[in-house]
Amino acid sequence: MNESKRHQRLLALFAAGWLLLNFPLLTLWDRGVTLWGLPLLPLAVFGGWAVLIGAAAWVAEAGRDTDEEEP
């Protein structure tokens, strides 16, 4: 993956994370519902955060193994 596409994708992930962790969308998860005995809001926040971290790592490392040759 060339560097400009990598930067664009990381910027898009930043924007998605900003929207995901912003107040209006967080109110969608603020309900009196529990999942496996845990409130839905913290599960949604930490789950979304984990997905964003995984996606950022995947985008940042995509194509790196072909860029570097081992001796």
In whole angstroms, give the CA distance from residue 69 to residue 35.
46
The band of 67, judged by pLDDT with boundaries at 50, 70 and 90, is low
Positive or negative torsion for Cα 26, 31, 54, 6 = negative
In whole angstroms, give the CA distance from residue 68 to residue 5.
18
Question: Percent of the chain having pLDDT more than 70?
Answer: 86
Range in 8-22, 36-50, 52-66 with the lowest mean pLDDT = 52-66
Per-residue pLDDT tens digits for 43-55: 999 999 999 999 9
Positive or negative torsion for Cα 45, 10, 12, 15 = positive
pTM of the model: 0.75
